[in-house]
Amino acid sequence: MKKAAWFLGLILIFSILLSACTGGAGQAKTIKVGVIAELTGDIPAVGASCKNAAEMAVQQINDAGGLDVGGTKYMVELYIEDNAGKADQSASSAQKLITQQNVVAIIGPNASRYAIPASEIAESSKVVLISPWSTNPKTTLNANTNESKKYVFRAAFIDPFQGRVVAKFALDNLNAKKAAVLYDVASEYNKGIAEFFKSTYEENGGTVVAFETYTTGDKDFSAQLTKIKEAGPEVIFLPNYYSEVPLQIQQAHRLGIDVPFLGSDSWGSTELITLCGSDCEGYYFSTHYAADAATPEATKFIEAYKAKYGNTPDDVAALTFDSFGLLWQALQTAGKVDREAVRDALAKISKYEGVTGNMSFTEGSGDPIKSAVILQIKGDKFVWFANANP
């Protein structure tokens, strides 16, 4: 017993010494960046893309000898946390990265329902958080005061814009005057975008004939879809995640619904096509970038990603890469590795040429000004269909 206690004590002392050494030696020349990703849970493909792109972004900097900030070369150290697809774990991951790892900024989480709780922690701890993929306005807005959060940014456009883009697309391109919506009422993202779609669609002369909901984890949508069929829409909007959309479309087909379906950026994972098979053929969704109609920046990124991981990067990967790009640019403008200085520099970025297009920020808002694209599902690929500007 006594021996064991001695042994444990020794281990403890050694580990403290060891951590003190590595901490002390590395501190001067490294930038610590945290990532919170959905590696497990209900949307693991999102977390995997985020992790891949984050590792690639950091590796590119480190392979080039580090990031030049104010005349000194810094190596980048990456800390990746899994939020397990849970809101509470997203908040505790943010807490851990800030207090234990002492990171200068956090990238992620991606889905709005996780990004919102994590952003609250970052805001109150005064640490920059950039969510690559979250599109719900509440991520960067303080819910109580309705003012913009000071330390929270994103690389994606926001849902009101996306809802508007899809609604206009349904009216103008598909010529559909009657639409139905089926969405997850328990998820911030789905709920927000469904409501923005409805308001724009009705303002522009369309009618939403059915506005149906379900809750996360449901697999049987037969009651809602039967109701939608009865209402006779010309188009159905499903602003839901890639793991649920295939079930909804397949069940709709089984009930004999044959109108086109529309989606939002949550469709943009190639997993969608794997799960859906031929059922999703020809349908449209709005998203952040098109891999087949790429700018030089995007092509460079897509080639590098393909070479490293063997598949085409989806929108999460592209946005994660852009989040890191924004962070590097902010660090270089700030000229020092300091949380406050990075925030100020980030808020003033007037032009950033990213993989997902040009972005700019204005002081007083964490949302970038950027454009969207509409993609169509053709075979096993997402094909560029139209552009939509703010």
Partner 1 sequence: MTYLLQQVLNALQLGSIYALIALGYTMVYGILTMINFAHGDLFMVGAFFCFLAATFLHLPFVPTLLIAMIGVALLGVLIERFAYKPLRQAPRVSAIITALGVGIFLENFTLVFAPYPQHVPTLIKNTTWVVGGVSISSLQLIIIALSLVLMAFLDFIVRKTMVGMAMRAISWDKAIVPLMGIPLNLVISATFALGTSLGGAAGVMYALAFPVIDPYMGILIGWKAFIAAVVGGIGNIRGAMIGGFILGGVEILVAAFLPSTYRDFVAFTLLLVLLIFRPYGILGKPRPQKV
Which residues of this protein are in contact with partner 1, per CB under 8 A?
A: 39-42, 44-45, 185, 212-215, 217-220, 222-224, 226-227, 230, 243-244, 246-247, 250-251, 254-256, 271, 274-275, 277
Residues whose CB falls within 8 Å of the CB of residue 24, separated by 6 or more in sequence, listed in order: none
Structure tokens at 207: 């009618």
Query: Which residue, 129 or 316, has its beta carbon nearer to partner 1?
Result: 316
User: Please, what is the minimum distance in Å from the beta carbon of residue 84 to partner 1?
Assistant: 10
User: Please, what is the minimum distance in Å from the beta carbon of residue 208 to partner 1?
Assistant: 13
User: Please, what is the minimum distance in Å from the beta carbon of residue 390 to partner 1?
Assistant: 31
DSSP annotation of 148 reads B
Task: Name the residue among 319, 318, 350, 346 with its Cα closest to residue 332.
Answer: 346
Task: Name the residue among 128, 134, 225 with its Cα closest to residue 180.
Answer: 225
Residues whose CB falls within 8 Å of the CB of residue 223, separated by 6 or more in sequence, listed in order: none
Query: Which residue, 63 or 258, has its beta carbon nearer to partner 1?
Result: 258
User: Please, what is the minimum distance in Å from the beta carbon of residue 222 to partner 1?
Assistant: 4
The angle that helices 44-63 and 315-334 make with each other, rounded to 10 degrees, is 40
Query: Which residue, 276 or 318, has its beta carbon nearer to partner 1?
Result: 276
Three-class SS state of 75: strand
Query: Which residue, 279 or 297, has its beta carbon nearer to partner 1?
Result: 279
Query: Which residue, 271 or 322, has its beta carbon nearer to partner 1?
Result: 271
Structure tokens at 171: 């009216």
User: Please, what is the minimum distance in Å from the beta carbon of residue 246 to partner 1?
Assistant: 6
User: Please, what is the minimum distance in Å from the beta carbon of residue 181 to partner 1?
Assistant: 11
Beta strand 105-107 with 128-131 is parallel
Beta strand 352-354 with 72-82 is unpaired
User: Whole-angstrom Cα distance, residue 136 to residue 163?
Assistant: 11
Query: Which residue, 38 or 367, has its beta carbon nearer to partner 1?
Result: 38
Structure tokens at 96: 């851990």
Query: Which residue, 44 or 66, has its beta carbon nearer to partner 1?
Result: 44
Three-class SS state of 156: coil
Structure tokens at 53: 């792109």
Q: For 268, list phi and psi in degrees, rounded to 5.
A: -70, 30
User: Please, what is the minimum distance in Å from the beta carbon of residue 192 to partner 1?
Assistant: 15
Query: Which residue, 169 or 221, has its beta carbon nearer to partner 1?
Result: 221
Q: For the chain, how far is it from start to end, CA to CA, in angstroms?
A: 70
User: Please, what is the minimum distance in Å from the beta carbon of residue 109 to partner 1?
Assistant: 17
